[in-house]
Chain A
Amino acid sequence: MPVITYREAIRHALAEELERDANVVVMGEEVGQFHGAYKVTEGLLAKFGPNRIVDTPISEAGFIGLGIGASMLGVRPVMELMFWSFYSVAFDQILNNAANVRYMSGGQIHCPIVIRGPANGGTNVGATHSHTPENVLANHPGVKVVVPATAADAKGLLKSAIRDNDPVFFLENTILYGEKGEVPEGEHLVPLGLADVKREGKDLTIVTYGRSVLHSLAAASVLEQEHDISAEVVDLRTIRPLDIDTVLKSVAKTHRVLIVEEQKPFASVGSQLAYMIQREAFDELDAPIHRLATVDAPAIYSPPVEVEQLPNPQRVLQAALEVLA
């Protein structure tokens, strides 16, 4: 199986879907001539031309809204946000128009748009560029929210997202762009809303997604080697729709839960997960559900300190030991 980067996996997904469906258009700031601010779209302009790979001005409310309008007429735009942090200037378009138009029209209109880009901290760019809005987005019925952790998932999920008939918000990670992984050759689709057990275990369930999956896997290795603890790592992959069944199945096996997320803790994805697990698997729990999130403050700039603000393998390890204490 070929080993490619997360970035290449996304690029391959875009290229394959552009090839497959003439309605697919890639649009965003610097996606064409500049090859993408993070080089995700590199080479696509040369292959597909300026009608399919569209450079936009720095104008998120305008071009995201334009994409939503175009999607109502059957275009399938894949919009790049250079950072998901910039969603705030397009909030009305994303969460009033895209999220609600189907409902408010009594189901007459659908909006097959994908908005993708990185949403993460850890790159020392300060609070304005480090937002992780998956909880905010997923709070809006009508939208789907995807946060892939690996190259294979990034490719398979993005292809599914582009074919989906609802608005899909696809949250990548700048730190993961260079991470390599095996990606199946040929048509590779991962359905939205299907979690993946990235590591099997019997003593503890770590529920996580995005880059925190990598930290959790690293911590799980140490748990096994140094503490003789077998941790199961469940990667949600999609936040909404949510594969809660896979989570509950794991909880029934391990009876202990740690949630790891690169979110601020208040009303986070983890908050929702903890509610659902206690509600639906109360009798399975041998310990309170624990959660490791980003330390609750705006993202700090200072490089060595930001590492400590976010989940990292050491913090995951400590939190896991607390659950098992």
Chain B
Amino acid sequence: MPASLAETRLISPPGDKQFFAPHFPRPSVTKKTSTSAEPAGAAPAQREDFSRAPVNARLTADAKIELFRQMVRIRRFEERSLRAYQAKKIGGFLHLYIGQEAVAVGCCSLMGPHDHVITAYRDHGHAIAVGMDTKPLMAELYGKATGCSKGKGGSMHYFAPDKNFWGGHGIVGGQIPLGTGLAYALKYQGKKGAAMAFMGDGAVNQGAVHEAYNLASLWNLPVVFVIENNGYSMGTSQARSSAGELAKRAAGYDMEWGQCQGHDVYEVRAMMDHFLTKARDQQRPSTVEIDTYRYRGHSVADPDNTYRTKSEIEEYRRTKDPIQLFQGKLIAEGVLTEAAAARIDEAARAESELSAEFAEASPFPTPADIQSDVYWDSDNPSERKSKGRLFFD
């Protein structure tokens, strides 16, 4: 097997031992409004073939198809949940992951038994990628008792500790200290693993993120901070919200950092494998910035035409759709056929439909359920040590 170009790029440049070199000349911070005018050096035809990176080269055909299937499942789940939202089956916010599928799937596909994930409120993709069943996920959106959080969390608050998935958090950047704490726990308990703490590009300006960066680097914690840069913090473009390059801020904390394109699941895996390995083996944190794009508004209730154009969305969808691109690659590799891809898509549609039927048929929690799951003590009365009144009605 020839040494991958990706491998050689992962070696830090001479004289600069600390930092992972960005893969490509970066478009300016206004890149999201000029996707058709990328520098020639970044044109897809001349870019690295990340399928040759060792972490991808060793994938079996089935494993590659599984990556594709996961992305399709996320896409169809999200589309089905959007229809449910439009039918007023779902309350509150619904932050869809459509367009970003390769990021969660690429990252979570690398998880070992002691690797953990935490993310913000755009969490459906990560939940599916770590292996949560779509039925309780959809039921949670419907506010049903069969939901993954019993209808108590909603779209932004999915959790599956049995799958090393710690949410699903609503406050921008607030989950990043928690993810750093997961890494602290791994280190304290002597487990060889890493935490992936996901955030959006809007989170990098929150103080809690920077406090977490400092602690992670200072204490050599095995965490990879993953910035999913979809170009917009709600309706404010990166150019209008953030000075400088986002991942590069890690340099101020003596942390390695990297950037990659998030529409190529192979590329995501190649970069993440490097940094996850570094976290697990060397107990060093890093920050990665993965360029991606969301096709829908910040939340589906939000207007999506005040800060970007339809043509920008269409351009991305046409040239960089992560599922279409990967499907094309797998067909070119001879791993997948058009017919097999169609069958996977059909199964994903059917699965999402079943999840909606399950959600629809499930009961709501009752008012009596409002006060369960508040305290460990009240949920475990026979083992409770404390006395006194816990609730004040």
User: Which chain A residue shows the least CB distance to B379?
Assistant: A107
Q: Say yes or no: A107-B372 contact (C-beta < 8 A), given A66-B212, A70-B184, A97-B178.
A: yes
Residues of chain A within 8 A (CB-CB) of B188 are 25, 51, 70, 75
Known A61-B177, A66-B181, A69-B178; contact A104-B167, beta-carbon cutoff 8 A: yes
Contact status B374-A242, CB under 8 Å: no
B54 at the A interface (CB under 8 A)? no
B245 shortest CB reach to chain A, Å: 22
Task: For B182, give the chain A residue with the smallest CB separation.
Answer: A69
Of the candidates A59, A73, A103, which one forms a contact with B189 in the assembled complex, judged by CB atoms under 8 Å apart?
A73
Binds B, one of A188-196, A250-258, A310-318: A188-196
A265 an interface residue at 8 Å Cβ cutoff? no
Task: Give the CA-CA distance A56 to B181 in the complex, in Å.
Answer: 13
Residues of chain A lying within 8 A (CB to CB) of residue B167: 101, 104-105
Contacts of B235 in A (CB 8 A): none
Q: Is B317 an interface residue (CB 8 A)?
A: no
Which DSSP category, helix, strand, loop or mixed, fits chain A's interface?
mixed
CB-based nearest B residue for A189: B385
For residue B99, CB closer than 8 A to chain A, the reply is no
B17 contacts chain A at the CB level, 8 A cutoff: no
B385 touches A69 (CB 8 A): no
- For A30-70 the 0/1 string (1 means CB < 8 A from B) is 00000000000000000000010000110101111111111
Interface pair B214/A92, CB less than 8 Å apart: no
Q: Does the CB pair A107–B388 fall under 8 Å?
A: no
Residue B125 lies at the interface, judged by CB distance under 8 Å to chain A: no
Shortest distance from the beta carbon of A224 to any chain B beta carbon, whole Å: 29
Query: Does B310 have its Cβ within 8 Å of any Cβ on chain A?
Result: no
Contact (Cβ within 8 A) A241 B157: no
Dominant secondary structure of chain B at its interface with chain A: mixed
Pairwise interchain contact A72-B161, C-beta atoms closer than 8 A: yes
Chain B: interface size category? 35 or more
* B177, A64: Cβ atoms closer than 8 Å: yes
Q: Is the CB of B215 within 8 A of A62?
A: yes
A113: min CB distance to chain B, Å: 10
Least CB distance, A78 to chain B, in whole angstroms? 14
Q: CB < 8 Å: which of A59, A75, A141, A164 contacts B214?
A: A59
Please, which residues of chain B bring their CB within 8 A of the CB of A59? 211, 214-215
A105/B171 in contact, CB under 8 A: no
CB-CB under 8 A for A194 and B387, given A25-B188, A61-B208, A69-B184: yes
Binds A, one of B68-76, B146-154, B265-273: B146-154
Verify if A166 is at the interface (C-beta below 8 Å from B): yes
Within 8 A of A (CB), among B358-387: 372-377, 379-380, 385-387
Pair A74/B189 contact, Cβ less than 8 Å = yes
CB of B290 within 8 Å of the partner chain: no
The verdict on A102 contacting B212 (CB below 8 Å), with A67-B181, A144-B386, A191-B387 known, is no
Which of A51, A62, A108, A163 sits near B161, CB closer than 8 Å?
A108
A contact residues around B22 at 8 Å (CB): none
A63–B390 CB distance below 8 A: no
A70-B185 contact in complex given A164-B385, A191-B387, A192-B387, C-beta closer than 8 Å: yes
* In the complex with contacts A61-B211, A65-B174, A107-B372, A191-B386 CB distance below 8 A: yes
What is the 8 Å Cβ interface bit string for chain A, positions 70-83, against chain B (1 contact, 0 not)?
Answer: 11111100000000
- Contact across chains for A92 and B161 when beta carbons are under 8 A apart: no
Residues of B within 8 Å of A51, CB to CB, are 188
A68 to B388, CA, bound (A): 25
Interface assignment of B287: CB less than 8 Å from any CB of chain A: no
Whether A109 contacts B148 by the Cβ 8 Å rule is no
Residues of A within 8 Å of B391, CB to CB, are 141
> Is B207 among interface residues, defined by CB-CB distance under 8 A?
yes
The answer to whether the Cβ of B180 comes within 8 Å of any Cβ in the partner chain is: yes
Chain B residues positioned under 8 Å from A65 (CB to CB): 174, 176-178, 180-181, 208, 211-212
A110 located at the interface, meaning its Cβ lies under 8 Å from any Cβ of chain B in the complex = yes
Give the most central of B149, B175, B176, B178: most A CB within 10 Å.
Answer: B178
Tell whether A215 is near chain B: CB-to-CB under 8 Å. Answer: no
Does B177 lie within 8 Å of A68, measured CB to CB?
Answer: yes
User: Taking A69-B166, A73-B182 as contacts, is the C-beta distance between A107 and B177 under 8 angstroms?
Assistant: no
Tell me whether A142 and B374 are in contact (CB under 8 A).
yes
CB–CB A241/B389 < 8 A: yes
**Residues of A contacting B212 in the complex (Cβ-Cβ under 8 angstroms):** 62, 65-66
B388 touches A92 (CB 8 A): no
Please, which residues of chain B bring their CB within 8 A of the CB of A144?
A: 375, 386
Report Cα–Cα, A219/B109, bound state, in Å: 67
A-contacting residues, B171-226, CB 8 Å: 171, 174-182, 184-186, 188-189, 207-208, 211-212, 214-215, 218
Does A222 sit at the interface, judged by CB under 8 A? Answer: no
Does A96 reach chain B (CB closer than 8 Å)? Answer: yes
Contact A166-B189, Cβ < 8 Å, known A69-B184, A92-B171, A160-B385: no
Task: Determine if B316 is an interface residue (Cβ-Cβ < 8 Å).
Answer: no
The answer to whether B385 touches A93 (Cβ under 8 A) is no
**A311 to B147, alpha carbons, bound, how many Å?**
50
- Give 21 pairs: A residue, B residue, CB < 8 Å, sorted on A: A61-B211, A62-B180, A64-B177, A69-B182, A73-B189, A75-B188, A105-B152, A106-B149, A107-B150, A107-B372, A107-B373, A107-B379, A109-B161, A144-B386, A160-B385, A191-B386, A192-B386, A194-B388, A238-B388, A241-B388, A242-B389
Q: Which 10 A-B pairs have the closest CB atoms?
A: A69-B181, A65-B177, A193-B388, A62-B211, A241-B388, A69-B178, A107-B373, A73-B185, A106-B150, A105-B159
Extra pairs beyond A72-B166, A97-B175 (7, CB < 8 Å): A66-B212, A69-B182, A69-B185, A72-B161, A93-B178, A107-B379, A160-B386
